[in-house]
């Protein structure tokens, strides 16, 4: 098992969602190392990741909704275009909105069935989309990302067969259980919580995928119940 | 015309369940507003004479009085032209619907209470109720994740049932007690499916997206 040389919270790119969970025309909020981020996909399917905060009065933009190629704030309806500048203020429809009104942007990319986000000044390229990944689910767990990484490298998904060859590559863990190749992207949220974006490297029939959901619940239960024992 | 009369407050989540079920099933309700907040009209002797539980909603129809939300939902689904869609015929699906109905009432009741504490200053341990609501919504998220993998959009199967109507407000309104929708991708998707049903109506706290 190869050990990651850096702390998970310091990696430039992090997975923040399963790509299939951000459907065209929808938005979702999340937290990455304490920063609140809104991820949304416009009606043409392009991904965007911004600070989850409206420049007007600070409302969470993830509470808003997508209108074509804009994200609209729920509170007073300000609309932001794909470059994150404000394009329209409903209370002043005649106003040419100054381009200085804008939301802070992150970099966003799609690879390995996941949505990846980096700080705007990150120099590193986004992760390579090296092979197909079939999304299983995103699972929020009340434990830190490093603790969950250690747990997965020890047990994989409970009840899914013997664990083989766990391998850590930055925020990713790849391993095999039985015939199945599994992959998990770890999103550090706070010091005490993370989200695990789980996928498979080959597709399974729906009933078998559904049966694996109980294994993911068992993993969360195991992780959250062993708080006092020390997992590493 | 049935003349079902609902004693209602627009911000009460259980009243919304009943209005939503009626709208989805295609039943017109005769609405009788009750000044629950801030007026406390549900505590008045007149209202208590109708409902000694001093609680909304209350439904009066065909000479009977219903005081339990779930009974009202089942009754209204049986009444409306679009109602049969919400009442599965096969025994296993019907049992599942009832199981999730009781889950909505009993286990997710904490969501309703947490919201009442947060929004209307009712007494109660808001933090403990919110934690309990989160546990319930996680169970629903786990369930809907499995359903989605099997190509089923709703709680009991491919069609919506009364259980979806009973459960939907617990998720849709959980931001009112500061529980975000972030950790529930399957429920976000499910909520979008429910919003698209013919006759869907919203309430304050559940934004209309247009
Ligand atoms: S807070 Fe976003 S438009 Fe006012």
CB neighbour list of residue A81: distance below 8 Å, 6 or more residues apart: A69, A70, A87
DSSP B105: I
| Start-end of CATH 2.102.10.10 domains in chain A | 13-118
Closest ligand 1 atom to A58 CA: 1
Split at pLDDT 50, 70, 90, the class of A162 is confident
A209-223, B35-49, B171-185: segment of lowest average pLDDT: B35-49
Query: Could you identify the residue written with the tokens 């009340």?
Result: A142
Q: Average pLDDT in the A23-29 region?
A: 96
Name the token pair of A135.
Answer: 């999304």
At B137, give phi and psi (nearest 5°): -70, -30
Q: Which of B149, B185, B207 sits opposite A21 (nearest CB)?
A: B185
Between A22 and A230, where is the model more confident? Answer: A22
A62 contacts chain B (CB < 8 A) = yes
pLDDT for A107 equals 97
Q: Average pLDDT in the B74-81 region?
A: 95
CB of B29 closer than 8 Å to CB of B54: no
pLDDT for A7 equals 65
**Assigned CATH for B4-84:** 3.40.30.10
Cis? peptide before A61, omega within 30° of 0? no
Residue B100 has pLDDT above 80, yes or no: yes
Query: Could you identify the residue written with the tokens 């309990």?
Result: B132
Split at pLDDT 50, 70, 90, the class of A5 is very low
Question: How far A152 CA lies from chain B's nearest CA (Å)?
Answer: 19
Query: Could you identify the residue written with the tokens 């969360």?
Result: A220
Candidates 2.60.40.10, 1.20.1050.10, 1.10.510.10, 3.10.105.10; CATH matching B88-195 = 1.20.1050.10
Ligand 1 in reach of A90 Cβ (< 6 A): no
Residue B23 has pLDDT above 70, yes or no: yes
CB of A41 closer than 8 Å to CB of A51: no
ipTM confidence: 0.92
Residue A4 has pLDDT above 70, yes or no: no
CB of A114 closer than 8 Å to CB of A199: yes
Ligand 1: centre distance to CA A60 (Å): 9
Split at pLDDT 50, 70, 90, the class of B37 is confident
Residue A231 has pLDDT above 50, yes or no: no
For strands A47-51 and A172-177, give the pairing.
unpaired
CB of A197 closer than 8 Å to CB of A144: no
Name the token pair of B158.
Answer: 């491919």
Of A91, A125, A92, give the one whose Cα is nearest residue A111: A125
**Assigned CATH for A130-225:** 3.30.310.220
Collect all residues of chain A within an 8 Å Cβ-Cβ radius of residue B182.
28-31, 62, 140
CB of A111 closer than 8 Å to CB of A129: yes
Ligand 1 in reach of A57 Cβ (< 6 A): yes
Closest ligand 1 atom to A61 CA: 2
A209 contacts chain B (CB < 8 A) = yes
pLDDT for B2 equals 61
CB-based contact B207 A217, cutoff 8 Å: no
Burial of B63 (0-12, 13-18, 19+ CB in 10 A): exposed
Q: Can you name the CATH fold of A13-118? A: Rieske Iron-sulfur Protein (2.102.10)
| Start-end of CATH 3.30.310.220 domains in chain A | 130-225
User: Per-residue DSSP letters for chain A?
Assistant: -PPPSS-GGG-SEEEEEEGGGS-TT-EEEEEETTEEEEEEE-TT--EEEEESS-TTT---GGGSEEETTEEE-TTT--EE-TTSBEEE-TTSTT----TT-BPPEEEEEEETTEEEEE-TT--SPPPP--S--EEEEEEEESS-HHHHHHHHHHHSSTTSS-EEEEEEETTEEEEEETTEEEEEEEEEEETTEEEEEEEESS---HHHHHHHHHHHHHHHHHHHHTTTT---
Split at pLDDT 50, 70, 90, the class of B121 is confident
Of A217, A231, A224, give the one whose Cα is nearest residue A157: A217
Cα separation of A166 and A157, whole Å? 12
For strands A79-80 and A86-88, give the pairing.
antiparallel
A192 contacts chain B (CB < 8 A) = no
At B164, give phi and psi (nearest 5°): -60, -40
A133-147, A184-198, A199-213, B96-110: segment of lowest average pLDDT: A199-213
- Using CA atoms, how far residue A229 sits from A94, A142, A159, A223, A225, in Å, is 62, 15, 21, 10, 9
pLDDT for A11 equals 80
Domain ranges, ordered by start, for chain B: 4-84, 88-195
Residue A178 has pLDDT above 50, yes or no: yes
On whether the pTM is more than 0.90, the answer is: yes
What is the torsional sign of CA B45, B49, B51, B57? negative
Name the token pair of A130.
Answer: 């090296």
């Amino acid at each position: 098992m190869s050990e990651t040389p850096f702390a998970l919270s310091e990696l430039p790119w992090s997975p923040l969602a399963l790509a299939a969970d951000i459907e065209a025309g929808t938005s979702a909020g999340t937290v990455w190392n304490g920063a609140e981020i809104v991820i949304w996909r416009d009606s043409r399917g392009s991904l965007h990741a911004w600070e989850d905060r409206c420049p007007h009065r600070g409302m969470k933009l993830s509470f808003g909704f997508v209108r074509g190629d804009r994200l609209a704030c729920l509170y007073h309806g300000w609309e932001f275009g794909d470059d994150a500048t404000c394009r329209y203020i409903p209370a002043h429809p005649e106003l040419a909105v100054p381009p200085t009104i804008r939301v802070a942007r992150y970099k966003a990319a799609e690879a390995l069935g996941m949505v990846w986000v980096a700080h705007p000044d990150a120099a590193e390229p986004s992760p390579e989309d090296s092979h197909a990944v079939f999304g299983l689910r995103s699972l929020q767990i009340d434990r830190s990302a490093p603790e969950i990484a250690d747990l997965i490298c020890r047990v994989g998904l409970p009840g899914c067969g013997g664990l083989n060859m766990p391998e850590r590559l930055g925020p990713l863990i790849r391993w095999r259980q039985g015939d199945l190749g599994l992959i998990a992207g770890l999103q550090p949220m706070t010091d005490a919580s993370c989200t695990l974006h789980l996928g498979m490297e080959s597709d399974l029939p729906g009933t078998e995928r559904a049966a694996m959901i109980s294994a993911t619940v068992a993993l969360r239960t195991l992780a959250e119940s062993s708080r006092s024992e020390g997992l590493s | 015309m049935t003349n079902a009369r609902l004693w209602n407050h627009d911000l009460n989540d259980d009243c919304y369940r009943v209005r939503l079920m009626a709208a989805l099933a295609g039943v017109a309700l005769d609405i009788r507003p009750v000044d629950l907040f801030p007026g406390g009209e549900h505590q008045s002797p007149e209202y208590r004479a109708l409902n000694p539980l001093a609680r909304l909603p209350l439904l009066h129809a065909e000479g009977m009085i219903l005081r339990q939300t779930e009974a009202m939902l089942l009754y209204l689904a049986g009444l409306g032209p679009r109602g049969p869609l919400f009442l599965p015929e096969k025994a296993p699906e019907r049992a599942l619907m009832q199981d999730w109905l009781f889950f909505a009432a009993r286990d997710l009741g904490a969501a309703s209470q947490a919201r009442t504490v947060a929004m209307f200053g009712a007494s109660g341990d808001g933090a403990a109720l919110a934690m309990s609501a989160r546990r319930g919504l996680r169970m629903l998220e786990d369930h809907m994740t499995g359903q989605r993998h099997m190509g089923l959009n709703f709680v009991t199967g491919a069609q919506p049932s009364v259980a979806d109507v009973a459960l939907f407000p617990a998720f849709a309104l959980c931001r009112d007690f500061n529980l975000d929708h972030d950790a529930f991708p399957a429920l976000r998707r499910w909520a979008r499916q429910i919003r698209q049903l013919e006759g869907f109506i919203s309430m304050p706290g559940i934004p209309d997206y247009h």
